[in-house]
Amino acid sequence: MFSQTSEYALRAAVYLAMRAPNPQTAQQIASECRVPTDYLFKALQPLSRAGLLSAQRGKHGGFSLTRDPSEISILDIIQAVDPIKRIRHCPLGLKEHGIRLCPVHKKLDDALCAIEETFRDSMLSDLIDPTADIVPLCVKPELIPETALHAKPY
């Protein structure tokens, strides 16, 4: 339903949010998020192009979010990587009635619309609430390396 690429991008974004504002290398992200390292670059490229994250080359480089996690939604990530294709015109391409959708496609589009709205209201910060008893990416709090948690930005 949601593409593998969006799943990867979302994991990475959440991971970066957890460590914001410190940049994290592709190696780190890939390893913690269980994403194939080489493919991760592909998944992050659209996020970079959309201006959601910045990439820094060279030693102490890596990826970091360009905004506060409270200002980036799941929808931002999804739309950048693998946009939800709303149904705007009749998929049968009939011109008898152009814009208005028949009940079938209206229903399908309603579902897509609902997903958009749900994801629009879900900020990365909501997903990493430290008071919750489960932290994202299915890693227990005590498994997150102290060094990473308390790292200072360069």
Partner DNA sequence: AAATATGTAGACATCTTTATCCAGATATCG
Partner DNA sequence: CGATATCTGGATAAAGATGTCTACATATTT
Tokens standing for 53? 């994250």
The nearest distance, CB 58 to its own copies, in angstroms, is 30
Residue 107: count other Cβ atoms within 10 Å of its Cβ: 11
Residue 8 interacting with DNA (CB under 7 A): yes
Structure tokens at 145: 């390396």
Cα torsion angle, 73, 79, 81, 86, sign: positive
Q: Which residue is listed with tokens 């009635």?
A: 97
Evaluate the CA torsion angle 62, 68, 74, 77 in order and state its sign: negative
The entry of its own copies, DNA, none that residue 63 binds, CB within 5 to 8 Å by partner kind: DNA
- Residue 48 contact partner, candidates DNA, its own copies, none, CB within 5 to 8 A by sort of partner: DNA
Q: Which of residues 25-64 bind DNA (CB under 7 A)?
A: 25-27, 36, 38-39, 41-42, 44-45, 48, 55-63
Q: Which residues bind DNA (CB under 7 A)?
A: 3-5, 8, 25-27, 36, 38-39, 41-42, 44-45, 48, 55-63, 82, 154
